[in-house]
Amino acid sequence: MSESNGKILIVGAGPSGLTLATELTRRGIGCTIIDKAAGPAPMIESRALAFNARSQSILAASGVTEQIIAAGHMVDKIRLCWNGRLRNEVSMARLNVHTGTDAGLKFNRIVLIRQGSVERILINHLLSLNVHVRWNTECIDFEQNDSSVTYRLRAESGDIESGEASALIGCDGAHSQVRKQGGYSFDGESDAQSWTLVDATVSGLDVAHTLTADLRPGQAFATMPIEDNVVRLIHNGPDILKNHPNAQFCTDVHWESEFKVSYRMVKSFARGRTFLCGDAAHIHSPVGGRGMNLGIEDAATLAWLFSKGREKEYSNMRLPVAKKVLKLTQQQTTQMNSSSRVSSLVKQYAPKLISLPFIKRSTANSVLGLDTPYPAWQS
Ligand SMILES: Cc1cc2nc3c(=O)[nH]c(=O)nc-3n(C[C@H](O)[C@H](O)[C@H](O)COP(=O)(O)OP(=O)(O)OC[C@H]3O[C@@H](n4cnc5c(N)ncnc54)[C@H](O)[C@@H]3O)c2cc1C
């Protein structure tokens, strides 16, 4: 079977690919979206949790943000502890700095929501627009010329289909096949340290609507509420159920995972008629909850550029943003992993400095994801 519709082919239906399909469709640009998996990310094993203010402002245009806010868990406070002792409790309302934009003022919280929920909301939104993700469909290979890309897919039936698209966009995650086959470099480094996380039902722990970071020399323990009595515990070391101070409150563990942190990104986000969005183009530490959000930004930016016929500008527009976020998350992670005296002093006293106006503003912008360029189409 041959498909030749000249549409854009999106490879991967994670948060980046689904956002791209949503934004292209909203702008009247036809696309086909495929994923080799049988369906969206499992609800239990959710990697991303944080849906930040920048993503909220981007997906508000399609009405998706409202649904995500309704389904998610809003963060009202951040508790900052040193060695188990509370150093500062910051209200998100008080962090709300004037960003000079309506969207920035409207969306001034982090919403915690499982990646699987975000994906399902986007999939249902696309279904309402008659865009169906083709599951169990894998991009095997492709070739491009100056104006189009021919590709081969392994369809759900097992048949090999060939087709032609005006552009092929790899939203196919950290191990992106589009990136590998497209000849993109993906340089960077990996930390030796392992991190662990646990999602669990808790009893007797009052952390609803509150993010807690408990820093100690060389160690970090975070607690993030997913629902009123369900939390994610995360630790930059092993044996989380033994070491995390809040593990004693866990009554039912839903998911436990160990992972290592890498910092890698492409040198270019596009080659000819192929483009990359999200983890396919950059991976970094989960500190700050930026990964999924950065992919949503990439995708929305690329859709806007396509609508203007300016997609050649995409790579130059996104490279500095990804570089900045990688650097920031690497600095934050290094600081958390460090047990030096200087770092201990910073971790002990920085929470108190957050009330200073300049620090308050830069902290708010970074926490909310508003430290990346304001979306040009919203100006
Ligand atoms: C432990 C952990 C915690 C995290 N926490 C956060 C957080 O709090 N906040 C945050 O923003 N981010 C977080 N992240 C990062 C976040 O999960 C990723 O940045 C996000 O999933 C990237 O989305 P994506 O759509 O680019 O890629 P993915 O979600 O990886 O989706 C890629 C899709 O492509 C499909 N695919 C792959 N190859 C092919 C092919 N050849 N053909 C067809 N389909 C293909 C896959 O099946 C998959 O569905 C975390 C990550 C980890 C590991």
Q: Is 126 helix (H, G, I), strand (E, B) or coil?
A: helix
Number of H helices and E strands in the chain, helices first, is: 12, 18
Please report the pLDDT score of residue 5 as a whole number: 56
CA atoms of 157 and 83, how far apart (whole Å): 56
156 vs 35, 134, 159, CA distance in Å?
10, 8, 7
Q: What is the pLDDT of residue 90?
A: 87
Spatial separation of the C-alpha atoms in residues 216 and 65, rounded to whole Å: 36
For residue 40 and ligand 1, the question of a CB distance below 6 A is answered with no
Superfamily of domain 2-73+111-190+262-336: FAD/NAD(P)-binding domain (3.50.50.60)
- Between the CA of 15 and the centroid of ligand 1 the distance, in Å, is 7
Atom of ligand 1 nearest to the CA of 294: 11
Q: Give the distance (Å) from ligand 1 centre to CA of residue 283.
A: 10
- Tell me the pTM: 0.95
The alpha carbon of 17 and the centre of ligand 1 are apart by a number of angstroms equal to 10
For the chain, give every domain's residue range. 2-73+111-190+262-336
CB atoms within 10 A of CB 306: 22
What pLDDT, on the 0 to 100 scale, is given for residue 6?
59
- Three-state secondary structure along 246-295? CHHHEEEEEEEEEEEEEEEECCCCEECCEEECHHHCEECCCCCCCHHHHH
d(CA 44, CA 112): 14
Cβ-proximal residues to 144 (8 Å cutoff; 6+ apart), any chain: 150, 168, 272, 273, 274
The predicted structure's pLDDT at residue 96: 61
| CA 343–ligand 1 middle distance (angstroms) | 31
Give every CB contact of residue 293 below 8 A, 6+ residues apart in sequence. Answer: 48, 50, 51, 52, 54, 55, 369
CB 18 within 8 A of CB 123: yes
- pLDDT score at 219: 95
Cα–Cα separations (whole angstroms), residue 80 to 272, 339, 354: 47, 18, 10
Task: Return the ∠ at Cα 49 (arms to 196 and 291), rounded to 5°.
Answer: 85
Which of 6, 4, 13, 99 minimizes the C-alpha distance to 277? 13
Predicted confidence pLDDT, tens digits, the chain (379 residues): 344 455 999 999 999 999 999 999 999 999 999 999 999 999 988 899 999 999 999 999 999 999 999 999 999 999 999 999 999 998 887 766 555 444 445 788 899 999 999 999 999 999 999 999 999 999 999 999 999 999 999 999 999 999 999 999 999 999 999 999 999 999 999 999 999 999 999 999 999 999 999 999 999 999 999 988 999 999 999 999 999 999 999 999 999 999 999 999 999 999 999 999 999 999 999 999 999 999 999 999 999 999 999 999 999 999 999 999 999 999 999 999 999 999 999 888 888 888 787 787 788 888 889 899 999 998 7
Ligand 1 pocket residue status of 297, Cβ below 6 Å: no
